[in-house]
Amino acid sequence: MNTEEIMIHLKSTLLATAIVAVSAPAFAADNPMVGGAAMYPDKTIVENAVNSADHETLVAAVKQAGLVDTLNGEGPFTVFAPTDAAFDMISDESLSQLMMDENKAQLAKILTCHVVATSAMSDAIAGMIADDGGMHPVPTVGGCTLQAKMDGEKITLTDEQGRTATVTIADVKQSNGVIHVIDRVLLPAM
């Protein structure tokens, strides 16, 4: 190869590398990574959640409560997905009891209080909050009503016990809805 051929080869190799480098982050920018895993918009909520290292407790709870088929269903759903760190705020004893077969209905109630029967992206939620003067009621599949507010640029949700969770990762698109990662487990009124 002469110098001109080497330069042409180097330019084509650099161009191909640049195209790959630009394409990969563009895909990642479309859907945020969650728990160190790519979240694919063509997979269901459960198919994506099982890959998140930050949602192992949530996935185990969804399985225990018998909600896998529901959350793999057509939807659309908005799921406010508590991280493992959020579940760590619950005592080990309470969480162990909740995961027992005899408490399956209570576990299902808690989990479905994190699910809304529509696909709501964060900009739509923020718009509803603004339209309602700073607070928007969010009725859930589990019969709970969460109160959505803005805290700066972040959406917060307050449960029926007055506990507040913050959306830490918003707008994770799924084939059957959207996930918003939250930092606290939300509970129904007792």
Name the residue ranges covered by the structural domains of the chain.
Answer: 1-30, 31-182
pLDDT of residue 19: 34
77, β-bridge pairs = 177
**What pLDDT was estimated at residue 188?**
95
Assigned CATH topology for domain 31-182: FAS1 domain (2.30.180)
Q: Point out the residues of the chain with pLDDT beneath 70.
A: 1-29
- Residues 122-169: tens digit of each pLDDT: 999 999 999 999 999 999 999 999 999 999 999 999 999 999 999 999
What are the residues whose beta carbons fall under 8 Å from the beta carbon of 62, sequence distance 6 or more? 46, 49, 68, 71, 111
* Phi and psi, residue 187, nearest 5°: -125, 145
The Cα 58–Cα 101 span in angstroms is 16
